[in-house]
Amino acid sequence: MAITTPKSYFWKGFRDGAPFVFVAVPFGTLFGVFATEAGLNIIQILAFSATVFAGAAQFTALQLLQEQTPTAIVLASALAVNLRVAMYSASLTPYLGAAPIWQRACAAYLTVDQSYACSMIQFEKEPEMSLPQRMAYFFGSVTPITPLWVFATYLGAVLGTQIPDSWALDFALPITFLAMVGPMMRTLAHVVAAIVAIAVAILTVGVPFNLGLLIAGAAGMMAGAQAEVMMERRKA
């Protein structure tokens, strides 16, 4: 298919990003419900979703807040969950780094799993794309989910208090996160990282302030990086 203008790349991104609505809407709704049950009001919940714009980090913060974790640890843990967007930022940089600063700032705000995944596939598939075409594609890929993410959060916040205990929503977060983890296991190193992180998390449950999460995360990252080095050496 011969498409050349930035505008047509915007729409191509839009189409490629559209299916993610089916993940973002339930996830956003769940966040709204969860946040309402934690005692946040609608303004706080909407501000949370619209400014932080990172579901996993938002859930982590709420979960830890409910466990009376000190504020600094809540922030550090939620940002640690979000460290992957720094990695996205890093790997998008060769493709988008030459754009004007205001465009890069907008792109930074909109760097999420979905826009990153779509864009990397597209940029690698068509290396001859121009910078404006790439930016148009990137913005296109997040356009379907951005407004719906905030709207879904609102919906969840409104529904929140009406949901009975028998729905076992306490377990919606584990199921959603575990479902995200399965498809991430692309290599043995990813599996090693996850297993080490789980083992350390279980062993450090008694550590105060929920610091176990940060310890386990760091241990998992180091294990994954180390496993990757060892696998490469074996290949060479």
Partner 1 sequence: MTQIDATTIWFIIIGLAIGSFALRFAFIGFVGNRPMPPWLLRHLRYTAVAILPALIAPLVVWPSATEGQPDVARMAAAAVTLAVGLITKSVLAAIFTGAGTLYGLLYLLG
Q: Which of residues 56-85 bind partner 1 (CB under 8 A)?
A: 56-58, 60-61, 63, 65-66, 68, 71, 74-75, 78-85
Mask for 93-112, x = binds partner 1 (CB under 8 A): xx-xxx--x--xx-xxx-x-
119 forms part of the interface with partner 1 (CB under 8 A): no
Which tokens sit at 233?
A: 């050496």
**Which of residues 56 and 152 has its CB atom nearest to partner 1 in the complex?**
56
Identified binder of partner 1 from the candidate list 9, 31, 53, 139, rule CB under 8 A: 53
Q: Work out how close the CB of 68 gets to partner 1 at its nearest, in angstroms, rounded to a whole number.
A: 7
Count each helix (H run) and each strand (E run) in the chain, helices first: 13, 0
Does position 229 interact with partner 1 (CB under 8 A)? The reply is: yes
Instruction: Tell me which residues in 153-172 interact with partner 1 (CB under 8 A).
Output: 165, 168, 170-172
CA 150 centroid distance within chain: 15
DSSP state of 36: H
Is there a contact between 111 and 83 (Cβ–Cβ < 8 Å)? Answer: no
How many alpha carbons lie under 13 Å from residue 53 in its C-beta half-sphere? 18
Stretch that binds partner 1, among 3-11, 118-126, 128-136, 191-199 (CB under 8 A): 191-199
Nearer to partner 1, 3 or 232 (CB): 232
For the chain, what percentages of helix, strand and coil (3-state, to nearest 5) are there?
85, 0, 15
User: Could you tell me the two tokens for 7?
Assistant: 């505008």
Nearest to 128 by CA among 9, 217, 10, 219: 9
| Nearest to partner 1 of 11, 73 (CB atom) | 73
